[in-house]
Structure 1
């Protein structure tokens, strides 16, 4: 929200509510700290990939990148997620080949389709992990979001921030975008900045790979095939402008843009334009468009690029944590 990017009049008016919210956070943290609310310690290392701001920051591409890195090292990894907007008939729910975005949620389904790792959805993260471990063999578990889910013990915390929007005006909800005070960033193991990174942050760049047709994933086009081409673009993600800007920076001529709400549910009318130019969408949007058969829609997958020393540090912390836990 634009009001969260500055300390304007409306933000000041909401500041008393932010103070109440801060008190609630403090009480909740103390209840966990003094043991009035129980914690769950998984028998394997848990990595939390989350943020302290409301809205999309790039957590899902980072989760996928971490999963692929563990797979390269033959480490069996599983993922748990809240499954925002999922409508499964029971929880915990195990994502499978027949899952849809409506049932599983768009982000868990995207992670599953790209990596094929075990994924369990449940707002109760400890219960999700118990189901995951009862059903699959996992050496490491990644929690997609859940930085504020203190009922779950964790070995590593990774906070992801938008490198452009940063922490907005720095105020708590509803006066600002923060779920927790800024000082919470001091306690995480890594801060990953999607875009521009500052000192002591890990820079993450989202780079497009080979485009594919929505109606046929085997129909591929290289990036070069779209350079200089006039297209329309549709995005229902946390920061649609980042997607549009990326396309334009690649030399693609974006004529019309449709920015939709994050986790938007597609019906098909979103792809109606006055022209017949190709339409480019994100891979997160694509998983919600299985029933849409237009042949001029192209999906733009992205890969998160991070420095090698980041992965090395994560693997080292996992190894050290495992030794401490099981010695």
Structure 2
């Protein structure tokens, strides 16, 4: 966590000095949104488009939610397609179609994991509208999910889902740079669905009607052998030290899960979407004889050089059934209009 992030979450008094800049940021964001956002649905948008995003910096759980919703929609007979910016990827050209055989260095970790976990067609492009056009042109889909993109105002959307971290919530409530918010909390009044990741740390009026999701750890999976060990009791020998490696927007949630296990925990945090190499582990002095644990999103970037002590934490997303039913009803209404 950076110095500024710590100040946001501790609500440091000196941040008020940045408040005038935050007001300017909000004004510029409002002007940009007014100039770019289209109120009219494009004639060539042949499927409902749902944007899943957040109003704050850092990870909130958007990607696990998108994966689970894609799987739920498929179970109910829908044919979802997915678009993403492809954070962390560097493709020779765009739009890029992504599947389980793609090069994660080109697609980015999130897009690759989404494609592998869902089997849905996935297209990435820094211009999400271009990714959407390619998806609809080349694939047979009847609903589109956008991984992030709430502030990509050029992208028309039928429905918006905002994901909120239950522990951090909105921090000090200020917009960048005095706080972590990309848009003010009042933006929540405009979206169709709000999902809180975990139980809210405190009651907030804006979240009164929000749904909740829970990330439940299920097993530790070895990157080389595929061996699974239940996330319960003591999956490794007592006396082992867990070496938690992450390149996440909010690694503290991941570390907190691992703290449930009866081991000493040493953490190694890299920038969000960091492209791992074997040298990263050597330079950090990570012990080759002690378990290395990471998220599944980070694991897809470590497969080529994984050792037998590399494991990832497999989690299950539990959603409220009422939220899923309301969302499907919204999708059907958009399709019928």
TM-score by length of 2: 0.89
Query: 1:61 maps to which residue?
Result: 64
Query: 1:238 maps to which residue?
Result: 249
Contact 1:70-1:77 at 8 Å conserved across structures? yes
Q: 2:112 aligns with which of 89, 97, 109?
A: 109
Contact 2:37-2:153 at 8 Å conserved across structures? no
CA distance in 1, matches of 2:287, 2:34: 57
Q: Secondary structure at the match of 2:259?
A: helix
Q: CA deviation at 1:155?
A: 2.0
Deviations 1:198-247 (A, max 9, x none): 53121111112332211233x22222461774322222212212112112
Contact 1:48-1:143 at 8 Å conserved across structures? yes
Query: 1:314 maps to which residue?
Result: 327
Distance 1:40 1:123, change over 3 A: farther
Query: 1:296 maps to which residue?
Result: 309
2:27 pairs with 1:23: yes
User: How do residues 61-100 of structure 1 correspond to structure 2 at under 5 angstroms?
Assistant: 61-100=64-103
Distance 1:252 1:264, change over 3 A: farther
Deviation larger for 256-265 or 296-305: 256-265
TM-score by length of 1: 0.91
Structure 2 stretches lacking a partner, 5+ long: none
Q: Secondary structure at the match of 1:205?
A: strand
Aligned residues: 320
Distance 1:23 1:10, change over 3 A: same
Distance 1:75 1:30, change over 3 A: same
2:8 pairs with 1:4: yes
Q: 1:189 aligns with which of 188, 192, 197?
A: 192
Q: Secondary structure at the match of 1:209?
A: strand
Distance 1:21 1:275, change over 3 A: same
Q: CA deviation at 1:11?
A: 1.9
Structure 1 stretches lacking a partner, 5+ long: none
Query: 2:281 maps to which residue?
Result: 270
